[in-house]
Amino acid sequence: MQRLSLKNWDASKSQALPVFGVGVAFIDESAISICPLHETNKVIAQIRSIVSTLSPAHKELHIAPLENICSMSSTDGRIRLNELLDSVTDATGKEDFMKYLRMLTLQKIALDNGYSKLLLGSCTSTIACHVISATVKGQGYSLPGDVQYVDARWEVPVVLPLRDCTSEELSKLCHLDGLELLQLVKRPSNSINSLVSSFVARLRDENPSRERTIVRTAEKLRPFCFNKFVENTYHEFVPSRLRCKFQNINNSETALSEVLCPLCGSPLSEPEVQSLRNIQENTPTLVENFTAHCCQSCSFQILPMGAESLQQFYTVLPQSVTVRVTGGTSDHSQLR
């Protein structure tokens, strides 16, 4: 990919400019981490060193504290973030909610810095764990949308270039390229995600091909319309100096048809959509409308019980989450 970003003759015959620029993002979770602050700062310093020594061209490093998604004020953001997480009592729900906040943070970094794609490091091993855990959580309907190469339900489309690589293969590749592997201390957990991760690790020890088998099985599920790039966006694959000529393209026919959960972004199943319509007929409050848009998994694992707790949870949610419920659909275009 590094070579193609600089010398892709199919996309740039002239080679006058790089085909695309690459940035690196790291989310600082020291506000909620059990890892000592000096250890986190040490890891960030190592990341800066690694990125600075990568082969040309220059890669911008973006470090964003997780609490910034709640408030641009560091102190207020930490308070709101901890209040949010404290209101989620389920261990699995808390981990999943943090994952969703990370995605919102990455989206904001991409939008603020003009990136057109968001590349995640999710590999076969990670996706295999997600397939099993999503099945256990009752997220089978939305699962096909999470395991494809492309996920365009977000304003900045997400791409999984390492989907066919296992964690062991990537570790060997980093070793051969002389890249240091860094790992922060994780909070001990008895969540579904942790149990599934241990289970898949045992399967891998017995037979390394089982991770691929799990992912290939999930690939056979029918994907959603957002699992492909918008048609006619060929301007993204031409030299950057020519892209301005192809920006005014009508994509009105490619809007998402699914109703998406405002917390996790999962498409709602038909029974969930029907339940939403029934609630909206009774002129619900903002909190009731937001709750009705959430998928069953988020409603069970993340949303707090009780009207007062739910109202407080809604109050401290990031604005980028609450504004996604607009006119009966969930909108991802308000992350700025």
CATH code of 163's domain: 3.40.50.620
pLDDT (0 to 100) of residue 162: 94
Residue-range definition of the domain harbouring residue 187: 2-255
- List of the chain residues with pLDDT < 50: 234-235, 237-256, 327-329, 332-336
Report if pTM > 0.95.
no
Is 144 part of any domain? yes
Burial 221-247 (b: 16+ CB within 10 A, else e): eebbebbebeeebeebebbbeeeeeee
Report whether 313 contacts 325 (CB < 8 A). Answer: no
pLDDT (0 to 100) of residue 15: 52
| Element (DSSP H or E) covering residue 134 | helix 124-136
Domain total in the chain: 1
pLDDT (0 to 100) of residue 277: 92
Is 146 part of any domain? yes
Q: How far apart, in whole angstroms, are the C-alpha atoms of residue 197 and residue 203?
A: 10
Is 285 part of any domain? no
pLDDT (0 to 100) of residue 80: 93
Is 111 part of any domain? yes
Is 194 part of any domain? yes
pLDDT (0 to 100) of residue 105: 96
Q: How far apart, in whole angstroms, are the C-alpha atoms of residue 241 and residue 235?
A: 11
Indicate the SS3 state at residue 64: strand
